[in-house]
Chain A
Amino acid sequence: MNNDELIIGEHKFNSRFILGSGKYSLELIKAAVENAGAEIITLALRRAISGDVANILDYIPKGVTLLPNTSGARNAQEAVRIARLAREAGCGDFVKIEVINDSKYLLPDNYETIKATEILAKEGFVVMPYMYPDLNAARSLRDAGAACIMPLGAPIGSNRGICTKEFIKIIIDEIDLPVIVDAGIGKPSQACEAMEMGASAVMANTAIATAGDIPKMAAAFKNAIEAGRTAYLAGMGRVLESGSSASSPLTGFLHN
């Protein structure tokens, strides 16, 4: 029995690990998905339309929810176009919005992301926006109809961990939508940390794609994410975050 489901829009998932599909050999995707226990896999639409030879869509196991992303979009208008193309290409209603207008750091443009979210949510997409962790932007995304919030932990591909921890924590505390930490997570321990903080799920690609044994690393992430989630549900944090608390009241003597 598992009542701890991840709910995005109206869709329920048992796994809290969203796996990326880029940057590694197509032959390994199936094994990575299986070892990760992943139910959602992201793929760049621009990669999915690459013709008959080495087309990534041929390698993604059936039954996994496709989460096409709009990478390549530099503004809201382009993101909207790519999302519509993804739907036409049979990739479903999920879309991860990535609007990147900076070729060096690949940091998302929150303003354009909000605009794209508003348009696509109205069109019935399950919109999952990748964003820079700013509370005001997260609120605007929620109001625009986002199904979750995907703040970055560190620059994409950097494997630096959750550099933006404090700000992601604020979003987790303030926004009543699933918060999925995306980008920058380099190690299973960092994925675990994100889950302990109360993130609803973790998205990772480069950390797995650049590992020596990709399926094995996918399994390590799966375990770390489950451990972090269990710890969060177990109500950790009182000792760590607020100092130790005594088991019996300290002020009880006043009433004696």
Chain B
Amino acid sequence: MEQRINHMEYLPDMEQIKSDIMDRVISETENYDYSKYTKSDVKTALSHQTKTLDDFKALLSPAAMPFLEEIAQQARIETKKHFGNSVYMFTPLYISNYCENYCIYCGFNCKNKIHRAKLNKEEIEKEMQAIAKTGLQEILILTGESRKMSDVEYIGEACKIARKYFKLVGLEIYPVNSNEYAYLHKCGADFITVFQETYNSDKYETLHLAGHKRVFPYRFNAQERAVMGGMRGVGFAALLGLSDFRKDAFATGVHAYLIQRKYPHAEIAFSCPRLRPIINNDKINPKDVHEPQLLQVICAYRLFMPFASITISTRECERFRNNVVDIAATKISAGVDVGIGGHGDNVQKGDEQFEISDTRNVKEVYDALIKKGLQPVMSEYIYV
């Protein structure tokens, strides 16, 4: 078996920034004992207009489960206050599925035998044209994590093309240094999402066996480097089901909270992915994170940071997504293809990252939102 590198040590070329946020998140999370929270703590949390860190802990605890209806009601009020009935629509575009990491739960992992592909500039443009035709104005560009196969310049070119067709360009790529984020910002991207997967570094080590992603602190500090590089907003997520989901959801919230305190202008977003089956492993499932627990997490994020954007993934089914956008989520993807190529009449070149659950196209999602009395918004953003 190959030698595994120390997952807490930076590799050469990885920028180290001065920040105590990681240490604070880890220590807060270690000290979070959700079993000690009671009904009365949950009631206290619900009674506060602004939720404290301790309220957030109570809302994520098992003691809060019997209050889920009340929590959802309150989350809905906060969502409406900040977003009204607006729900933002977007779609992800995977431009490459080459990956150097070995993350045992992910379809793109370098040991998984799948069809690998990378779109060239013409293909990217064709895909974007097909997506833009659906009326969408926001795109999220994704790659597998391979600097070799999809370097920063290649991603930058994709951003430049995207700016021709879309108002808003987000990125979900491997973590890079702050000067590289600045470059990508110049190319037109303004939002960076990085999934930490799990905030438990010991568990992290056992799931990410090889590749740059194995280095926990470099990944952790990606959002801060992105803000330093001039990005307008940053997204946070734990892949729920990998580890203790209550602790992971808590750490995700604290991470976002501390970034916002340090950089008050940064716009904050959450994603709430659960584990899904992948090619060559249909047994992967979200374990103890059932729909009620997922809803609890989403509502806790909403109540703790009422102003944050919350995205609901196509990993979830139509029924769950239709309902959660009327409670706490504010952003929904549609017309999703997690493989490489395949939008419009284009032929798919590479395999998918995971199995999606909600396969509706843009019009179907749009109509479903209208039917619920919600207002689909294609973009509320301006690049300045």
Give the B-binding residues of A (Cβ under 8 A). Answer: 22-26, 44-47, 49-54, 72-74, 78, 81-82, 85, 101-104, 106, 157-159, 206, 209-210
Contact = CB atoms under 8 A, between A and B. Distances in A.
A6 B202 CA distance: 65
B382 A51 contact: no
B85 A206 contact: no
Contact of B264 (A54, A78, A82, A103): A103
Contacts of A44: 380
A248 B377 CA distance: 63
Given A50-B167, A72-B384, A102 B377 contact: no
A103 B266 CA distance: 6
Interface stretch (B14-22, B75-83, B180-188): B75-83
Interface string B102-135: 0000000000000000000000000000000001
Nearest to B378: A50
Name the 7 nearest CB pairs between A and B, nearest first: A23-B84, A53-B135, A46-B382, A78-B384, A50-B379, A209-B84, A102-B264
A102 B81 contact: no
Most buried by A among B267, B376, B377: B377
Interface residues of B, number: 30
Nearest to A103: B267
A75 to B, nearest CB: 9
Contacts of A157: 81-82
Given A52-B135, A103-B265, A22 B167 contact: no
Interface string B334-378: 000000000000000000000000000000001000000111111
A25 B260 CA distance: 30
A54 B305 CA distance: 28
Given A72-B381, A102-B264, A50 B80 contact: no
B135 A51 contact: yes
Contacts of B135: 51-54
Contact of A53 (B264, B265, B378, B382): B378
Contacts of B377: 47, 50, 54
29 contacts: A23-B86, A24-B375, A25-B85, A25-B373, A25-B374, A46-B381, A47-B377, A47-B380, A49-B167, A50-B137, A50-B377, A50-B380, A51-B135, A51-B137, A51-B379, A52-B135, A53-B135, A53-B366, A53-B378, A54-B135, A85-B382, A101-B265, A103-B266, A103-B267, A103-B307, A104-B305, A106-B307, A159-B81, A210-B84
B268 interface: yes
Contact of A45 (B84, B267, B305, B382): B382
A46 B381 CA distance: 5
Nearest to B370: A25
